[in-house]
């Protein structure tokens, strides 16, 4: 796997695909700078070698049209502050404006190109557009894990114009290694904790990881499809009746593969999907009509705790309750605490995919787990066992 450490950028122009798709407030201030900070080491390596950096990214969903609200010019000052270099800005990512700005760029300088998605060709993966981008650099670096699952012009197609001169940035390399550590080289016992709303959105992940884990903890809304399939009463809990056969099949596959599946035994049930609803702890298979399970119960959490504390490698994807409501967040917080404890004891813990990162950030677990993935969809696709096009294009 080639990373930027295999290159010396002295006198070279590095074309870097970053993920600067950051949240902005109504005054266009960046409200979360983590994605910019995540790209900083890669940019600094290029500059410290004596090269110059041309940064390209998308911001929002302008759908192929110029939209001043989604201009990357809004973030130029924030990027400058974080990188510690005054970043120049080109009002277009291709064409004369961009070409001229690139031509003037000197060693040690950084140029930020305007939003790639102002051109429909970006998401279409257009080859001529990719070639126009490729003209800007001597070496292509992909450091945008968040878009590595998209075969867009700047994430994938552009790489073909850099045979022998393309590599992963530090961030993308770190993401790839973290996934490998869980899915291939993880120390046993390996435990996956899968929560979230629906079996249907996690099924491919479950099928893929059954070959790689020793324990599978199932929590959250998915629980009830499994419980009902096994003959339990789940009351008004979220349940996918058409996925019950699938749930039984997963349990059978797990047994055949020697994977221990841990499902909640008790839950915090509520009489409405509301933070202020009446609640009671009930056995997971005896939820009365009119009640729905919205969080894990104490016996369940004790069981999960034991499994997690005995694990050496932990993957966490999806909350075990409706964590957005304070009264149903305790289970998810407890899981975070157990993973924290296991990590302190030496386990490797990876959190990522979909909403998991939001939960982790909200409860302050970010610095307590070994690695928090920066890519929601890209992480989910990796866990499903798919080769991401943006990664394949570099390895090519």
The residues assigned a catalytic role are 35, 198, 354, 377
> Would you count residue 324 as binding ligand AMP (CB under 6 A)?
yes
Phi, psi of 2 (to 5 degrees): -85, 125
> Would you count residue 197 as binding ligand AMP (CB under 6 A)?
yes
- Asked if 297 and 268 count as a contact pair (C-beta separation under 8 A), the reply is yes
Q: How far apart are CA 154 and CA 101, in angstroms?
A: 18
Count helices and strands (H / E) in the chain.
14, 17
* Min dist. Cβ of residue 296 to ligand AMP (A): 9
Residue range at the interface with ligand AMP (CB under 6 A); choices 3-11, 190-198, 243-251, 339-347: 190-198
Residue range at the interface with ligand AMP (CB under 6 A); choices 41-49, 118-126, 169-177, 313-321: 313-321
Pick out residues in 284-303 that bind ligand AMP (CB under 6 A): 293-294
Residue 355 CB contacts under 8 Å (≥ 6 apart), including other chains:
196, 318, 319, 376
The percent helix, strand, coil of the chain (3-state, each to 5) is 45, 15, 40
> Would you count residue 196 as binding ligand AMP (CB under 6 A)?
yes
> Would you count residue 321 as binding ligand AMP (CB under 6 A)?
yes
**Number of shown-chain residues binding ligand AMP (CB under 6 A):** 16
Binding residue (CB under 6 A) for ligand AMP from 8, 67, 107, 201: 201
Place of tokens 């110059």: 52
Binding residue (CB under 6 A) for ligand AMP from 131, 249, 355, 384: 355
Residue nearest to ligand AMP (CB): 196
Q: How far apart are CA 67 and CA 159, in angstroms?
A: 27
- Asked if 269 and 291 count as a contact pair (C-beta separation under 8 A), the reply is yes
Between residues 190 and 294, which has the closer beta carbon with respect to ligand AMP? Answer: 294
Residue range at the interface with ligand AMP (CB under 6 A); choices 15-23, 42-50, 204-212, 320-328: 320-328
Place of tokens 């050496």: 312
The CA-based angle 39-45-48, given to 5 degrees, is 135
17 is in an annotated binding site: no
Between residues 146 and 354, which has the closer beta carbon with respect to ligand AMP? Answer: 354
> Would you count residue 375 as binding ligand AMP (CB under 6 A)?
no
324 is in an annotated binding site: yes
* Min dist. Cβ of residue 221 to ligand AMP (A): 4
> Would you count residue 331 as binding ligand AMP (CB under 6 A)?
no
Pick out residues in 206-245 that bind ligand AMP (CB under 6 A): 220-221, 238
Q: How far apart are CA 82 and CA 38, in angstroms?
A: 10
What are the Cα distances from residue 280, in Å, to 23, 116, 268, 295? 38, 51, 6, 11
202 is in an annotated binding site: yes
Q: How far apart are CA 115 and CA 93, in angstroms?
A: 7
* Min dist. Cβ of residue 324 to ligand AMP (A): 5
59 is in an annotated binding site: yes
Residue range at the interface with ligand AMP (CB under 6 A); choices 4-12, 189-197, 246-254, 283-291: 189-197
> Would you count residue 49 as binding ligand AMP (CB under 6 A)?
no
DSSP strand pairing (266-270 vs 292-296): antiparallel
19 is in an annotated binding site: yes
> Would you count residue 390 as binding ligand AMP (CB under 6 A)?
no
Between residues 235 and 319, which has the closer beta carbon with respect to ligand AMP? Answer: 319
6 is in an annotated binding site: no
The CA-based angle 364-367-369, given to 5 degrees, is 100
Instruction: State how far Cα 371 lies from the chain centre.
Output: 11
| DSSP letters for 130-156 | HHHHHTT-SEEEE--GGGTTS--TTTT
Binding residues: 19-21, 35, 58-61, 117, 150, 202, 293, 324, 353-356
Residues that bind ligand AMP in the complex, under the rule CB under 6 A: 195-197, 201, 220-221, 238, 293-294, 318-319, 321-322, 324, 354-355
């Amino acid at each position: 796997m080639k990373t930027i450490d295999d290159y010396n950028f002295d006198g070279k122009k590095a074309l870097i695909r970053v993920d600067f798709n950051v949240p902005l407030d109504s005054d266009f201030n960046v409200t979360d700078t983590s994605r910019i900070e995540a790209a900083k080491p890669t940019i600094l390596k290029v500059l410290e070698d004596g090269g110059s950096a041309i940064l390209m990214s998308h911001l929002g969903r302008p759908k192929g049209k110029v939209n001043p609200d989604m201009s990357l010019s809004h973030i130029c000052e924030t990027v400058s502050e974080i990188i510690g270099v005054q970043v120049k800005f080109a009002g277009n990512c291709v064409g004369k404006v961009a070409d001229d700005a690139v031509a003037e760029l000197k060693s040690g300088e950084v140029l930020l190109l305007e939003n790639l998605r102002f051109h429909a060709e970006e998401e279409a993966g257009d080859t001529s557009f990719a070639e126009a981008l490729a003209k800007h650099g001597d070496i292509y670096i992909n450091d945008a894990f968040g878009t590595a699952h998209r075969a867009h012009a700047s994430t994938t197609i552009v790489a073909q114009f850099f045979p022998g001169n393309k590599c992963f940035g530090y961030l993308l390399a770190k993401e790839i290694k973290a996934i490998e550590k869980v899915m291939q080289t993880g120390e046993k016992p390996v435990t996956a904790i899968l929560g979230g709303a629906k079996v249907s959105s996690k099924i491919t992940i479950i099928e893929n990881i059954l070959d790689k884990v020793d324990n599978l903890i199932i929590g959250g809304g998915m629980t009830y499809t499994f419980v009902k399939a096994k003959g339990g009463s789940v009351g008004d809990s979220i349940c996918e009746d058409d996925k019950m056969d699938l749930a039984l099949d997963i349990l059978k596959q797990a047994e055949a593969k020697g994977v221990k599946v841990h499902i909640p035994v008790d839950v915090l049930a509520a009489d409405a999907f509301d933070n202020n609803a009446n609640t009671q702890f009930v056995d997971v298979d005896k939820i009365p009509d009119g009640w729905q399970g919205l969080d894990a119960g104490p016996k369940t959490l004790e069981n999960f705790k034991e499994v997690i504390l005995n694990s050496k490698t932990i993957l966490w994807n999806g909350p075990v309750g409706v964590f957005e409501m304070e009264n149903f967040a305790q289970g998810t917080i407890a899981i975070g605490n157990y993973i924290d404890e296991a990590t302190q004891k030496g386990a490797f813990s990876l959190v990522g995919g979909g909403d998991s990162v939001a939960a982790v950030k909200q409860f302050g677990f970010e610095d307590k787990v070994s690695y928090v993935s920066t890519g929601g969809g890209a992480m989910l696709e990796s866990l499903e066992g798919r080769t991401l096009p943006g990664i394949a294009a570099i390895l090519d």
